[in-house]
Amino acid sequence: MSKKKRKQRQAAPAAPKKQRIEFVARPFAGLANEEDLVAMMQIIPAATATVRLAKEYGGQDVQLVTLLPELTQGLKRADGEVLVALQTTMHSGDASRDVAAAVLATLELEEGSGLLMNGLPEPGERLQDILDPAVEPVVSVRETFDFWLGAEEAKAPEAVEQLEHAKEEIAPTAAVPGVPHAYWCRINGKEFVRWVRGEDEDVFFNAFARVHAARASDLEEGARFIGAFRACGLAIPVWELNRGTEAEELTAPLKAMGERLDAALADTTPLDAEARRAKAGITSRQVNL
């Protein structure tokens, strides 16, 4: 290589280095219905929730959904409906930034197009920046992925076949009546309930340790606490239920558990030795999602 060419090569500007996003332990904090957004991202197989963009971002309604075909991040259906998935393979360390980036990119798509982003987003707008805070997302648990398709698309035989095939992967799931953010499910012939709590995870685990130490952590006879998830900065305790238990039967026992937890949360004294042992046992069985 000549000196001139070598100098030209050395003088070429380097590609700008992408900015990394700071990790956010509780990415949906400050959003209305934070707990259910976490539930949609982590424990509900099929659900939708309508959110509204702030006026400066167009003011239109967008559907946040659990999952889209082939792990697509966004979809603008042929009828113009905008869907953005919470369950994807894109994880920058700030789930709120990831979803907001997908929302803004999906808005720009042509109708009938899907979004598959290359690489992670850089720092920018988060859901807290682009959503109308006056509109609370209400989760609708679904039995199928029929929300993937508009009315005309759903008439196609191949589309019906695709939905039927996808339905086989959905574990039966239902919201517990009267208990916000609690979800019953049936997996491999067994029933469970998972309750997304709104307290900071460490605050919750301290309180639940008091309940567990008092031998009051089971929902009812035979419905035992088996562990907890940590997800997006929140705790999700899990109980295995008596065989055949349905979601409607859990309202009373979960409300009673809520009263025990409220009493434990109000206790600000240091954990005693028994509660510390209980907490150690609980955290040893937790799973990070």
DSSP state of 10: H
Q: How far apart, in whole angstroms, are the C-alpha atoms of residue 104 and residue 102? A: 6
pLDDT digits (tens, 9 = 90+) for 213-243: 999 999 999 999 999 999 999 999 999 999 9
Degrees (nearest 5) of the Cα angle 134, 132, 199? Answer: 70
Q: How far apart, in whole angstroms, are the C-alpha atoms of residue 21 and residue 92? A: 6
User: Among 48-62, 109-123, 202-216, whose mean pLDDT is lowest?
Assistant: 109-123
Residue listed under structure tokens 């954990």? 271
What is the token pair recorded at 269?
């004294």
Closest CA to 29 of 95, 98, 86, 92: 95
pLDDT digits (tens, 9 = 90+) for 11-30: 444 445 567 888 999 999 99
Torsional class of 4: left (φ above 0), alpha (ψ -120 to 50), beta (otherwise): alpha
Q: How far apart, in whole angstroms, are the C-alpha atoms of residue 48 and residue 150? A: 14
User: Among 152-161, 199-208, 244-253, whose mean pLDDT is lowest?
Assistant: 152-161
User: Among 4-18, 60-74, 208-222, whose mean pLDDT is lowest?
Assistant: 4-18
Closest CA to 261 of 200, 202, 191, 197: 197
Judged against a pLDDT cut of 90, whether residue 289 lies above it is answered with: no
- DSSP alpha helices (H): ranges in 76-213? 95-107, 127-130, 157-167, 201-213
pLDDT digits (tens, 9 = 90+) for 33-43: 999 999 999 99
Instruction: Tell me what pLDDT residue 45 has.
Output: 97
Q: Please, which residues bridge with residue 53 across strands?
A: 131
Instruction: Tell me what pLDDT residue 17 has.
Output: 58
User: Among 6-15, 78-87, 221-230, 266-275, whose mean pLDDT is lowest?
Assistant: 6-15
**pTM across the whole model:** 0.90
CA-based end-to-end distance of the chain = 53
Degrees (nearest 5) of the Cα angle 44, 47, 48? Answer: 140
